[in-house]
Amino acid sequence: MDVASLPVLAFLFLILSSLCQCNDQLTQAKPLSPGSMLISEGGVFALGFFSPANFSKNLYIGIWHHNVPKRTLVWVANRDNPITTPSGRLAITNNLELLLALMTHLAGTSPAASILAQTFRSSFGMGLCLAAIVNDLTVSGSIYQSNATYVLYQSITNTGDKFYYSYTASDGSPYTRVLLDYTGKMRLLIWNNITSLWTVVSEPPSGCDLYASCGPFGYCDHTGLAPTCQCLDGFEPVDNLNFSRGCRRKEALKCGQENYFLTLPGMKIADKFVHIRNRSFDQCEAECSRNCSCLAYAYAYLSNAGTMGDTSRCLVWTGVLIDMGKATIASENLYLRLGGSPVKNKSNLAKILLLTIACLLLIATTALLRIYKYRGKRQQKEIQKRRMLEYLRSTDEDGDRNIEFPLISFQDIVSATDNFSESNMLGKGGFGKVYKGVLQCAKEVAIKRLGKGSRQGTEEFRNEVILVAKLQHRNLVKLLGCCIHEDEKLLVYEYLSNKSLDYFLFDSERKPMLQWPTRHKIIQGVARGILYLHQDSRLTIIHRDLKASNILLDKEMVPKISDFGMARIFCSNQHQANTNRVVGTYGYMSPEYAMEGAFSVKSDTYSFGVVLLEVVSGLKISSPHLIMDFPNLILYAWNLWKDGKTENLVDSSVKENCPLDEVSRFIHIGLLCVQDSPDCRPLMSAVVSMLENKTIQLPIPTQPMYFARRDVEPGRNGNNRALSSNDMGFTELEGR
């Protein structure tokens, strides 16, 4: 019988003998069949039939842990010969005959041999550990692992060419097993009753700790946060993506030419060395130096003499160096052979070091210059911001100083608009974009963000900010504050949900929402707002850009005049001014302002007259097409009034439900406002009286003159004229 089969036979003997000591025994009268099992004396193990999976019909005889919820096998009798029918059973007629029969079936015949099997009882309740006792073997043992509940012993047997490891658990220890998984890793596991899981106690190292995982001339570096593969000095990776291929020399060794040994401290020495006995350090170095095939050496003094009486150890390597490490517990110096001379390499190292220092200095200088430039820009922007605030608070045309106005932080505006999200944009124009926002106090606002190329410059921004501290009227939009941040200039208004007048007035589907009572209220509200600017406020203010798109509507359709960026403040004794910079919208500007740059309160009266005629007719003043064969709305309205056919001017969507006499009176007032001569136009105080008092006799309007667009080209008479068409308002509007 083969000696290798004896442990298996002894194992079967131990199994049957242990099971027979239990109350539930395998006897002649009580065979074991599928569905039944034998429990060991301690109730720890079970012997019986099992199938590896529910869908498998094959049966096996095995032993498993009885008290572990998930079946954990420790031995299988017929692993390669499953029972394919459910009628199989395990029975005996004579214990000795069965044992011999099983031995014969499993082990076969072989030369005789002797073996002593002993059972080491533990918490398993039966013996599963076998030890072969043979003469002239070296056996050593120690405590492998322990805690408050168990001690695990490890014993090592050296046969001369092989090592055998065995583990024994102390009494009362939890279940322990050794598992060789499909990856080839052997793990030691202990059962945890608390988690009901097998806990790994010991397993092979992973990563670069595995044997030769860093390849030839590579080593596992433990000095970092995690072990990584590195190349020895003078070597470089063969493949950066696959370090297991190892490293190659940067400079090849040439026998007979100059080379030197580089000291690598703190190294775990490589495998596959040659041990040279009875050598001093100098002799060890000389042994390697005179041999061209020697690639490295290591030397160590021993505190105790070895078996051969050596007090030192000289190791040399003539092949590739594998399985090295750095900063391990048992580390020593490794002397590596490199090509060239140390002086040459030091010179090259010095050059590299100088080049590195120069690059670092260049990077540092560049970084400092950028930081200095960035700080300079920030300081410049802060200076500009302070100057802007000082300019805003400087003396205005009314002589007031230190005007107070609310400042809102840029961070609050960014948060309110969701970082100026496109979904929050209400509209855009030549000045920039308008966004809807919600401040931290849950107040809805409209935020006008002036573009960097906006036609509304610093002067216009200042005008609008200053006016917020001076103007308070029901028919003027309320400016809640402003923000100056670097290149950004922002204005924060109250939010008006019904958008602007032109949004309803010039849309065929929405204009029916503006019935005559609403239009009547809008006309009177706009007139009162302009009157407040001209007369009832502390200042005399000329708006200069009154048009349908600058008249906003709240939820009650109350009109509010907006956009005071082009406004001018007159002193108390001032009635007219001239400018070389004409700003406004073509069609709404009075002739004297468009042609000569002269403006006064009568300029706003003209713009109001145009808005009034638009509200009544639902037509745009600057339509690209002729209006009933007339070049503009004003000439068309005057001819209808002259012929007594003013009802033909009324918007068809309100014509049937409006008092024609009142509408005719409003058209008459509008024609008085758009007369060519400013001296013929009424003041806004007279306009409000005529609108509200039907008994006032209206004068006869003069026939308007038509001046073509070419008459207001930029540059005429040396004027710089900034004109805009009606179509340069918001392209898409929501409430603001």
CA distance 509 to 503: 10
DSSP string, 142-177: EEEEE-SS-EEEEEEEE-SS-EEEEEEEPTTPPPEE
Per-residue tokens: 430: 């030549």
| H, E, C per residue of 94-126 | CHHHHHHHHHHHHHCCCCCCCCCCCCCCCCCCC
**Sign of the dihedral through C-alpha 134, 139, 144, 149:** positive
Residue where the block lists tokens 């089969």: 5
The answer on whether 655 is annotated among ligand-binding residues is no
Is 545 annotated as catalytic? yes
**Sign of the dihedral through C-alpha 336, 338, 341, 342:** negative
**DSSP-derived pairing of the beta strands 540-542 and 551-553:** unpaired
| H, E, C per residue of 299-347 | EEECCCCCCCCCCEEEEEECCCCCCEEECCCCCEEEEEEEECCHHHHHH
Judge contact between 463 and 564, C-beta under 8 A. Answer: yes
Judge contact between 506 and 540, C-beta under 8 A. Answer: no
- Tell me if residue 16 falls in helix, strand or coil: helix
Closest Cα partner for 338 from 325, 326, 348? Answer: 348
**DSSP-derived pairing of the beta strands 218-221 and 324-326:** parallel
Catalytic entry in 396, 545, 563, 676: 545
Judge contact between 14 and 99, C-beta under 8 A. Answer: no
The gap between the terminal CA atoms of the chain, to the nearest Å, is 101
- Residues 286, 291, 297, 302: what is their CA dihedral angle, to the nearest 10 degrees? -50
**Sign of the dihedral through C-alpha 631, 637, 640, 642:** negative
CA distance 581 to 588: 16
CA distance 391 to 608: 32
- Residues 343, 344, 347, 351: what is their CA dihedral angle, to the nearest 10 degrees? -160
Please list the helix, strand and coil fractions of the chain in percent, rounded to the nearest 5, in that order.
30, 25, 45
Binding residues for ATP: 448
Active site positions, annotated: 545
